[in-house]
Structure 1
Amino acid sequence: MLRKLAMNDMCIYHILIKGQVALDEINVMSPLQITLERIDTATTLFSVRTDQSGLIGLLRHLHARGVMLLAIHRER
């Protein structure tokens, strides 16, 4: 049986954003290790291993840069 996740549990998050964004742009001022998974003409998919507070910080960073979020998927 799987235990419930806590807010400070580390997970891998796959994040899909609109448009092409370079990893350098995403990694600016971010202590998180971000991995580019796919980039095409319409979207960029990357992953990051972090807890919920790290995810929220990354989402705020992306929002401040004007990046449009399309989807987030969590892996345990």
Structure 2
Amino acid sequence: MAKQETDFFRPEMLIELANSKMPFGKYQGYLLCNLPEPYLVWFKKKGFPPGKLGIQLASLYEIKVNGLEYLLRPLIKK
């Protein structure tokens, strides 16, 4: 695995995923973990953006399609 991919599996990266916001598009400003699954499926079909955001969205896609989004809820900062 590339360094960027392995870095994502650290616990603090999940905290960051739970608290990062979508920087553009229809859901700009939404927490990534609150993006609807069909939007992530669309990205999966069209291609995730490059870089960190793409890795986050791809990871979130896997989390959501496997029904694991409940794991991110406790990590959201109030």
User: TM-score over 0.5 for the alignment?
Assistant: no
TM-score scaled by structure 1? 0.30
Report the TM-score when normalising by structure 2.
0.30
The structure whose RCO (Cα within 8 Å, separation 6+) is larger is 1
